[in-house]
Structure 1
Amino acid sequence: MATGQTYDKAFKQEAVRLVQTSEKSQRQVAEDLGIAMSTLSRWCSELAANGERAFIGSGHLQPEAEEMRRLRRENEILRQERDVLKKALAIFSHR
């Protein structure tokens, strides 16, 4: 297996399906596909844990995590705006 090799969602799902439906062991399926046993094992675990939401891709977040990231960023912007308004109030109230 090449270092840094990436596989698409369909390939990962098919690899896990082969483990689940074939008579072959997980190790044999991994060897047949030319991937590391640990990689295939991780894919099986991820699909079992997340179902259709598994394998969303590098740099992408699960919907809940994406929403949390967006809300945290929005909260930070609101804090900054509040701080600017507090400073402006302090400046203008001393005149």
Structure 2
Amino acid sequence: MTQGRKRYDRQFKVSAAKAVLSGEMTVKDLSEELGIKDSTPRRWACEYEEMGDDAFPGNGSPKINKDHEIAKPKKKVEGLERENEMLKNFRAFSSQDHARGAGSSKSIGARSAPSRRHAGR
């Protein structure tokens, strides 16, 4: 005889997610108490953190609403914008080092001795 999946109602999932997010219980302790995998309460906490009271609509199944579908790409864009800003800052910083001649022995050698092509002129 096979046993079906356990189903938890919305209020139960919200309570579990709040307990994890507040630090009241660890994911490991909660999963052991419920007899479920660690990934389940971790997923509930993530969904609740991202979607708030819109998480677990209906019978508790995760259904993504349109606001959440927009929020995820916005988060990604914000992360990429931060990354681009860091890269711009790094590029500006490294070009300042280059302008000061840090590690550029080629330019020093070119100034100290004229090349053969220009020596005869």
Q: TM-score if structure 1 supplies the norm length?
A: 0.53
AA in 2 matched with 1:30: S
Aligned to 2:32: 31
Q: Which has the higher contact order (CA 8 A, sep 6+)?
A: 1
Bigger radius of gyration among the two: 2
**Compared CA separation, residues 59 and 11, structure 1 to 2 (3 A):** closer
Q: Report how far residue 3 of structure 1 moved.
A: 4.5
Contact 2:48 2:55 in 1 (8 A): yes
Contact 2:55 2:62 in 1 (8 A): no
Aligned to 1:52: 53
Task: List alignment gaps of at least 5 residues for structure 1.
Answer: 66-95
Q: Report how far residue 56 of structure 1 moved.
A: 1.0
The number of residue pairs the alignment matches comes to: 63
Aligned to 1:43: 44
Cα separation, 1, equivalents of 2:21 and 2:62 = 28
Alpha-carbon RMSD: 2.6
Cα separation, 1, equivalents of 2:25 and 2:46 = 18
What secondary structure, in the 3-state scheme, does the structure 1 residue paired with 2:13 have?
A: helix
**Compared CA separation, residues 55 and 23, structure 1 to 2 (3 A):** closer
Runs of 4+ in 1 over 4 A off after TM superposition: none
Cα separation, 2, equivalents of 1:59 and 1:19 = 18
Larger CA deviation: 29-38 vs 5-14? 29-38
Task: List alignment gaps of at least 5 residues for structure 2.
Answer: 68-121
Q: Report how far residue 29 of structure 1 moved.
A: 1.3
State percent identity of aligned pairs: 33
